[in-house]
C-alpha cells in the first residue's frame, strides 16, 4: 500500500512539475535594477499592441494585494520578509492564471530565494547604468521607492550585487543608449523568435 501511495505522489508531483514548466515557458519576465525602466517599457509595450500577450507588473500586483500606494508602505508595515513572501505568492498566482504574458519583476525579485525556479530562457535583463537608474529613481518621490532610504554608495553596491543575479537571464538588453521604441522592438523580437 505504501508503495502505491508513493507512486501516486510521484506521479502527481511529476505532473505538477510538467504543468508548471509548461506555464512558465509561456510567460516572459523582465528583470533589472530599480529605475532601469521595466515598468515604463511594459507600459509602452501595451501601447504598441498586445500581439496576443498580457502584461503585468509584479510590484503593482503586490500593491493591489495589500491595498497600499507604495512598496515602502508595505515594507514599513509588514517587513521585507512578508513582502518577499507576497512577491512569491503574487508571481505564482500570475503564472497560474496567465499564458503568453510579460511580467516586469521588481528590482530585487531575483534576490528572493523562493523565485529560483524562474526559467532563465524566459528572463530578459533590462540593463541601464547605475547613474541612469539612480537619476530615474530620484525623479519620483522618496516615499515611493524603499531603496532611496539608502545612501548612493549603498545603492551602488546593491546595483553591483544584483547585477550578478541579473546575469542569469538568457537575454540582456542595454537600455541606457536606446530609445523606448527601440527597446520595445527588441523585447518583441526576443519573445516572437
Q: Is residue 85 part of a domain?
A: yes
At 16 the pLDDT is 45
Domain enclosing residue 41, as ranges = 27-192
Q: Is residue 16 part of a domain?
A: no
Q: Is residue 48 part of a domain?
A: yes
Pick from 13-22, 65-74, 103-112, 117-126: least confident: 13-22
pTM (predicted TM-score): 0.82
Overall number of domains in the chain: 1
Residue 126 in this model has a pLDDT that exceeds 90: yes
The CATH number covering residue 84 comes to 3.40.50.300
Q: Summarize the confidence of residues 164-171 as an average pLDDT.
A: 95
Q: Is residue 18 part of a domain?
A: no
Q: Is residue 87 part of a domain?
A: yes
Q: Summarize the confidence of residues 143-158 as an average pLDDT.
A: 85
Q: Is residue 22 part of a domain?
A: no
Residue 108 in this model has a pLDDT that exceeds 60: yes
Per-residue H/E/C for the chain: CHHHHHHHHHHHHHHHHHHHHHHHCCEEEEECCCCCCHHHHHHHHHHHCCCCCEEEEHHHHHHHHHCCCCHHHHHHHHCHHHHHHHHHHHHHHHHHHCCCEEEECCCCHHHCHHHCCCCHHHEEEEECCHHHHHHHHHHCCCCCCHHHHCCHHHHHHHHHHHHHHHCCCCEEEECCCCCHHHHHHHHHHHHHC
Question: Confidence band (pLDDT; 50, 70, 90) for 140?
Answer: low
Q: Summarize the confidence of residues 122-151 as an average pLDDT.
A: 84
Amino acid at each position: 500500500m505504501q508503495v502505491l501511495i508513493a507512486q501516486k505522489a510521484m506521479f502527481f508531483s511529476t505532473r505538477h512539475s510538467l504543468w508548471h514548466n509548461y506555464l512558465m515557458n509561456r510567460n516572459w519576465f523582465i528583470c533589472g535594477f530599480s529605475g532601469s525602466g521595466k515598468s515604463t517599457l511594459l507600459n509602452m509595450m501595451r501601447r504598441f499592441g498586445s500581439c496576443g500577450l498580457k502584461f503585468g507588473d509584479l510590484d503593482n500586483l503586490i500593491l493591489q494585494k495589500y491595498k497600499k500606494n507604495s512598496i515602502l508602505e508595505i515594507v514599513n508595515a509588514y517587513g521585507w520578509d512578508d513582502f518577499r513572501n507576497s512577491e512569491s505568492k503574487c508571481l505564482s498566482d500570475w503564472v497560474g492564471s496567465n499564458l503568453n504574458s510579460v511580467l516586469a519583476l521588481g528590482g530585487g525579485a531575483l534576490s528572493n530565494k523562493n523565485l529560483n525556479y524562474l526559467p532563465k530562457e524566459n528572463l530578459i535583463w533590462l540593463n541601464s547604468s547605475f547613474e541612469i537608474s539612480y537619476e530615474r529613481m530620484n525623479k519620483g518621490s522618496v516615499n515611493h521607492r524603499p531603496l532611496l532610504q539608502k545612501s548612493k554608495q549603498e545603492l551602488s553596491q546593491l546595483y553591483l550585487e544584483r547585477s550578478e543575479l541579473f546575469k542569469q537571464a538568457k537575454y540582456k538588453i542595454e537600455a541606457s543608449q536606446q530609445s523606448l521604441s527601440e527597446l520595445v522592438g527588441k523585447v518583441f523580437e526576443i519573445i516572437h523568435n
